[in-house]
Amino acid sequence: MPKPLIGLTSYARNEQNRYELPANYLECVYRAGGTPVVLTPVGSGQSVPDWLDCLDGLVFTGGHDLDPALYGEQRHPTTEQISQERDQSEMILTHSALESGIPMLAICRGLQILNVALDGTLHQHLPESIGELVAHRASGDKPARHSSYLVPGSRLHEISGYNVTEGVSWHHQGINTLAPRLTPVAYADDCLIEAVELKDHPWCIGVQWHPEMSAESDPVQQRLFDALVQAASK
């Protein structure tokens, strides 16, 4: 039986006119028993119908900030490295994936675009909006680690097997107004929503942390990819 094909969105076009994606995303999918396929935003979403015809699951990966115009706000001074090409492609992909019911895992920026696509909004700079009780990224734009508290009875809680998980965190934006169709299933100590599920979708989870960055040594984080691939195999 062929391994399920899992599409992973790539990072935006860089200054060298290249698309790229950290290898640990692909390794997580491979360890879970899937075949990873990188989806570049070239064409700004025109290839989405062809992608969904071929794929069994999706991972919306991390990356730089969304254009706040997508949720009706002016750009904050700290909001940077916006890619309209990537934003447009992933907005189209998100809406199409939600309609198709394909299993999807949204990570960091991926959770944010899921929330915005469903009419939610974002904090553009967390230290200014909610304070610094929790370091969601370390000084010098480096990753940090902090705990997230999972809601009992959620799919994420069942997958994890724990009430608390510690993940690698690397972001300065996060959910402000939660989209009406999303259900929060994890929180940080500062009450920021750290994970969501879409209850009217067969399998859709978004996490604000980066499970791919610690999954090789942390089975709890790898289980997210395992569960995605399992859902994509059905």
Whether the Cβ atoms of residue 61 and residue 107 lie closer than 8 Å to each other? yes
Single out the catalytic residue among 90, 194, 197, 212: 212
* Alpha helices by DSSP H, 103-213: 109-117, 126-130, 155-160
What are 225's two structure tokens? 């990819």
Single out the catalytic residue among 28, 90, 108, 204: 108
Query: Known catalytic residue: 204?
Result: no
Single out the catalytic residue among 123, 136, 171, 210: 210
Query: Known catalytic residue: 212?
Result: yes
CA distance 30 to 102: 19
- Tell me the torsion sign for CA atoms 206, 212, 213, 214: positive
HEC sequence for 12-81:
CCCCCCCCCCCHHHHHHHHHCCCEEEEECCCCCCCCHHHHHHHCCEEEECCCCCCCHHHHCCCCCCCCCC
Query: Known catalytic residue: 76?
Result: no
Interior/surface letters 4-34, b for 16+ CB within 10 angstroms, e for the rest: bbbbbbbbbbeeeeebebeeebbbbbbebeb
Q: Cα 147 to chain center, whole Å?
A: 17
> Looking at the annotation, which residues are catalytic?
108, 210, 212
